[in-house]
């Protein structure tokens, strides 16, 4: 991967600088070690260098000569043109000019008065770069050593009173920010998040196209309904009674691309799900969709690990990532997406307590944690009780363990006697899920008191061997989607014990958040038909897809990563809304335009909609 270094650091080595560079590398032995050195530094410095690299191109095609973040003492004496927003004025003499790249202090001439220019006015300044007087130099500001003496100031656009100030220390409520997103985007964190998002996606594309021979193919979003998934938006047409559906993912298309011999496909795809009644979901979202032919699970997992290491290198550990079966995750963390940034694992102790119940589903789990936390407050006891009730599970807190299970119980569990313990027992499959929820609460309490070592970066985990089916009200439902292949070792159970069949599905979990998933797909049309039948899905709506499977479909596997979540994690943003330029707010409402809106009578007639 070394040549990338050259691209990344183009600022450092221009053609004209090559002679001294090559001279400095004259001794062959030195060359290699030095380049290896450069190489190893690449990954950690890529972001920093990427910024350098672009610095001199930000002004191309514009009428500014420099950005507001660019001027340094080496520019002193130069005539410059800056464009930006008035960030601040002081003493009618200093004007701070801001753009996306930084802030520059500009000095108003003696006899001029610019105090009537409101903040956030858009201006163009023609001036000369000067050294700031020594004591006025500001080391916290990248441009803090210089100032620009204004020769000419032109107001490019006036500004009305804004609904909120652009001060980081008095950030407005999110609702107001979203309603005026075009102002909110000027905050440094929004600028940084959107730029990081663009850079991450670009790195991913470079890895996939240049380093891995994938091609990006755009697939339609106006399609027919895919049975057995989330609710899909429908799009009425001029033809009465006929509707498109907005795709919830390019799943069918990417599998058909495999049939078509496009054997290494990806797409940064817009997907739609009508979950607008859930407040934390976006009706449209972005996923990095990948599929490849002649590959097994291991190939896909390695690909994604390399991809993420390439594009998130500072934040993610070196591959391979940890892997864990679905069963192990449930038995030890009480969830299929355990947060592995901290080490808090529970124990299956069912065998110790099997005399309590004769139910076949009886389970008991113990969660040990440091005694330093002390007793739970009554508020948290109440929360734990609620969780227990919801799951129909009995919870025994540390202080009641001896009373409930006897004095030597902890000894039998082989848990360190100095630890506190919470135990969940129950006659249903929720028992471990219940303790999983409690685990997260205990973790947050421990973290708040500094009693839990927690990784600050991203901690990825593969969860594999998901079940193929889950129980549904009517019979069976898929755990992932109906195109997931069963685990070859469990195929014999398909007819007799379908709920015991594992699938070749895998999920990527980062810091307890599911950021992606995929599977080896069914490529055999008969098996696919059988699975649809077991799931009670009418095959008619998938005729084209089933035809594709019998037209020479190669074995294939793939994955989809949720870009909004992944970027939010990488940016340490609280919400995916902070990494989306124009997100919808609660219930899918667009805070800017108020959409969804009423439409015209003419449109209603044209689309045969009730008026």
**Contacts (CB under 8 A) with a copy of itself, residues 10-39:** 10, 13-16, 18-19, 22-23, 25-26, 28, 31-32, 35-36, 39
83 binds a copy of itself (CB under 8 A): yes
The CA–CA distances, whole Å, from 38 to 50, 235, 385, 451 equal 15, 53, 56, 39
> Which tokens belong to 345?
């694992």
Min. distance of Cβ 244 from a copy of itself in angstroms?
5
For β-strands 146-157 and 122-131, DSSP reports them as: antiparallel
Complex with a copy of itself: residue 343 or 603, whichever CB lies closer: 603
Binders of a copy of itself in range 552-571 (CB under 8 A): 552-555
588: alpha, beta or left, given left = phi > 0 and alpha = psi -120 to 50? left
For tokens 């409690």, the residue is 438
- As a whole number of angstroms, the distance between CA 520 and CA 275 comes to 27
Asked if the bond preceding 596 is cis, omega within 30° of 0, the reply is yes
- As a whole number of angstroms, the distance between CA 196 and CA 398 comes to 45
Complex with a copy of itself: residue 215 or 499, whichever CB lies closer: 215
121 binds a copy of itself (CB under 8 A): yes
162 binds a copy of itself (CB under 8 A): yes
Task: Show contacts of 601-609: CB within 8 Å, 24+ apart.
Answer: 606/238, 607/236, 607/237, 607/238, 608/236, 608/240, 608/241, 609/236
Per-residue x/- marks for a copy of itself, 40-59, CB under 8 A?
A: -------------xx--xx-
**Residues recorded for the chain:** 611
Give residues with Cβ within 8 angstroms of 580, minimum separation 6. Answer: 282, 564
| Nearest CA among 413, 346, 429, 422 for reference residue 381 | 422
259 binds a copy of itself (CB under 8 A): yes
Question: Residues touching a copy of itself: how many (CB under 8 A)?
Answer: 152
Among residues 107, 117, 130, 185, the one that binds a copy of itself under rule CB under 8 A: 185
Complex with a copy of itself: residue 149 or 609, whichever CB lies closer: 609
Stretch that binds a copy of itself, among 213-221, 375-383, 399-407, 415-423 (CB under 8 A): 213-221
| Nearest CA among 495, 559, 482 for reference residue 528 | 482
Complex with a copy of itself: residue 158 or 372, whichever CB lies closer: 158
Complex with a copy of itself: residue 85 or 369, whichever CB lies closer: 85
Complex with a copy of itself: residue 437 or 578, whichever CB lies closer: 578
Range list of H helices, 422-508: 430-448
CA 610 to chain centre: 40
Among residues 6, 41, 115, 192, the one that binds a copy of itself under rule CB under 8 A: 6
Among residues 472, 551, 575, 605, the one that binds a copy of itself under rule CB under 8 A: 551
243 binds a copy of itself (CB under 8 A): yes
- As a whole number of angstroms, the distance between CA 493 and CA 486 comes to 10
Stretch that binds a copy of itself, among 216-224, 447-455, 485-493, 494-502 (CB under 8 A): 216-224
60 binds a copy of itself (CB under 8 A): yes
Among residues 225, 281, 327, 394, the one that binds a copy of itself under rule CB under 8 A: 225
242 binds a copy of itself (CB under 8 A): yes
294 binds a copy of itself (CB under 8 A): yes
- Grouping H, G, I as helix, E, B as strand and the rest as coil, residue 142 is coil
Min. distance of Cβ 170 from a copy of itself in angstroms?
18
Among residues 74, 140, 173, 239, the one that binds a copy of itself under rule CB under 8 A: 239
Per-residue x/- marks for a copy of itself, 399-438, CB under 8 A?
A: ----------------------------------------
Buried b (16+ CB within 10 A) or exposed e, 320-353: ebeebebeebbbbbbbbbbbbbbebebbebbebb
133 binds a copy of itself (CB under 8 A): no
Complex with a copy of itself: residue 237 or 357, whichever CB lies closer: 237
> CA torsion angle for 15, 17, 19, 25 (degrees, to 10)?
-110
293 binds a copy of itself (CB under 8 A): yes
Min. distance of Cβ 541 from a copy of itself in angstroms?
8
Complex with a copy of itself: residue 96 or 438, whichever CB lies closer: 96
107 binds a copy of itself (CB under 8 A): no
Buried b (16+ CB within 10 A) or exposed e, 361-386: ebbbbbbbbbeebeebeeebeeebee
As a whole number of angstroms, the longest Cα–Cα distance in the chain is 93
The CA–CA distances, whole Å, from 396 to 182, 330, 389 equal 52, 19, 13
> Which tokens belong to 511?
């810091």
> Which tokens belong to 405?
């299970």
Per-residue x/- marks for a copy of itself, 577-606, CB under 8 A?
A: ---xxx-x---x-x-xxxxxxxx---x--x
Complex with a copy of itself: residue 54 or 470, whichever CB lies closer: 54
Local structure of residue 171 (DSSP, 8 states): P
Among residues 52, 126, 137, 237, the one that binds a copy of itself under rule CB under 8 A: 237
Among residues 157, 170, 358, 378, the one that binds a copy of itself under rule CB under 8 A: 157
Side-chain-side CA neighbours of 494 within 13 Å: the count stands at 16
Min. distance of Cβ 162 from a copy of itself in angstroms?
6
Binders of a copy of itself in range 349-408 (CB under 8 A): none
- Across-strand partners of 419? 370
Complex with a copy of itself: residue 429 or 603, whichever CB lies closer: 603
Binders of a copy of itself in range 498-537 (CB under 8 A): 523-524
Complex with a copy of itself: residue 246 or 505, whichever CB lies closer: 246
Complex with a copy of itself: residue 222 or 499, whichever CB lies closer: 222
Local structure of residue 186 (DSSP, 8 states): T
The CA–CA distances, whole Å, from 344 to 336, 371, 402, 421, 483 equal 15, 14, 22, 12, 35
Complex with a copy of itself: residue 94 or 243, whichever CB lies closer: 243
Complex with a copy of itself: residue 12 or 136, whichever CB lies closer: 12
Stretch that binds a copy of itself, among 379-387, 416-424, 529-537, 539-547 (CB under 8 A): 539-547
Asked if the bond preceding 320 is cis, omega within 30° of 0, the reply is yes
91: alpha, beta or left, given left = phi > 0 and alpha = psi -120 to 50? left
Min. distance of Cβ 146 from a copy of itself in angstroms?
21
Number of neighbours of residue 274 by Cβ within 10 angstroms: 17
Binders of a copy of itself in range 186-205 (CB under 8 A): 186, 190-191, 194-195, 197-199, 201-202, 205
């Amino acid at each position: 991967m070394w040549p990338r270094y050259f691209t990344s650091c183009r600022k450092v080595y221009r053609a004209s600088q090559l002679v001294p560079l090559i001279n400095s590398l004259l001794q062959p032995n030195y060359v290699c070690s030095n380049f290896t050195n450069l190489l190893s530094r690449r990954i950690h410095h890529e972001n920093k260098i990427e910024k350098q690299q672009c610095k001199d191109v930000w002004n191309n095609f514009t009428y500014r000569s420099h950005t507001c973040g660019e001027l340094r003492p080496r520019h002193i004496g130069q005539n410059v043109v800056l464009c930006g927003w008035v960030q601040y004025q002081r003493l009618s003499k200093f004007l701070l000019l801001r753009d996306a790249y930084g802030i520059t202090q500009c000095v108003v001439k003696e006899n001029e008065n610019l105090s009537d220019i409101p903040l956030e006015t858009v201006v163009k300044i023609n001036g000369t770069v000067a050294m700031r007087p020594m004591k006025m130099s500001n080391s916290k500001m990248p441009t803090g050593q210089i100032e620009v003496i204004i020769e000419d100031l032109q107001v490019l656009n006036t500004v009305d009173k804004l609904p909120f100030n652009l001060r980081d220390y008095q950030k407005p409520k999110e609702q107001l920010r979203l309603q005026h997103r075009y102002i909110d985007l000027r905050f440094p964190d929004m600028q940084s998040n959107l730029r990081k998002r663009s850079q991450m996606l670009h790195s991913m594309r470079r890895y996939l196209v240049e380093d891995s021979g994938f091609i990006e193919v755009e697939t339609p979003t106006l399609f027919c309904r895919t049975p057995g998934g989330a609710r899909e938006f429908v799009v009425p047409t001029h033809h009465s009674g006929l509707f498109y559906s907005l795709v919830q993912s390019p799943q069918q298309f990417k599998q058909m691309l495999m049939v078509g011999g496009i054997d290494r496909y990806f797409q940064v795809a817009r997907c739609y799900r009508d979950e607008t009644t859930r407040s934390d979901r976006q009706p449209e979202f972005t996923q990095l969709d990948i599929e490849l032919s002649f590959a097994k699970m291991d190939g896909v997992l390695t690909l994604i690990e390399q991809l993420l290491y390439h594009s998130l290198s500072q934040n993610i550990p070196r591959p391979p990532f940890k892997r864990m079966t679905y069963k192990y995750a449930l038995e030890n963390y009480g969830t299929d997406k355990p947060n592995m940034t901290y080490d808090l694992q529970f124990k299956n102790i069912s065998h110790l307590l099997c005399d309590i119940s004769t139910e076949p589903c009886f389970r008991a789990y113990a969660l040990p944690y440091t005694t330093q936390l002390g007793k739970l407050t009554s508020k948290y006891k109440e929360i734990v009780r609620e969780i227990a009730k919801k799951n129909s599970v009995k919870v025994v807190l540390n202080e009641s363990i001896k009373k409930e299970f006897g004095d030597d119980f902890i000894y039998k569990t082989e848990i360190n006697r100095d630890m506190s313990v919470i135990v969940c027992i129950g006659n249903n499959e929720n028992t471990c899920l219940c303790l999983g929820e409690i685990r997260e609460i205990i973790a947050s309490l421990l973290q708040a008191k500094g009693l839990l070592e927690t990784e600050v970066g991203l901690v990825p985990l593969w969860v594999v061997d998901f079940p193929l089916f889950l129980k549904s009200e009517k019979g069976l439902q898929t755990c992932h989607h109906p195109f997931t292949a069963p685990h070859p070792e469990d195929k014999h159970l398909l007819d007799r014990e379908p709920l015991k069949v594992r699938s070749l599905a895998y999920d990527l979990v980062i810091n307890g958040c599911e950021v992606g998933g995929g599977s080896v797909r069914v490529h055999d049309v008969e098996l696919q038909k059988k699975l649809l039948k077991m799931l009670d899905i009418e095959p008619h709506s998938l005729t084209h897809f089933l035809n594709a499977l019998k037209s020479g479909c190669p074995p294939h596997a793939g994955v989809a990563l949720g870009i909004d979540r992944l970027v939010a994690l990488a940016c340490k943003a609280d919400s995916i809304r902070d990494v989306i330029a124009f997100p919808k707010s609660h219930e899918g409402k667009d805070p800017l335009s108020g959409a969804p809106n009423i439409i015209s009578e003419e449109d209603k007639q044209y689309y045969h909609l009730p008026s």
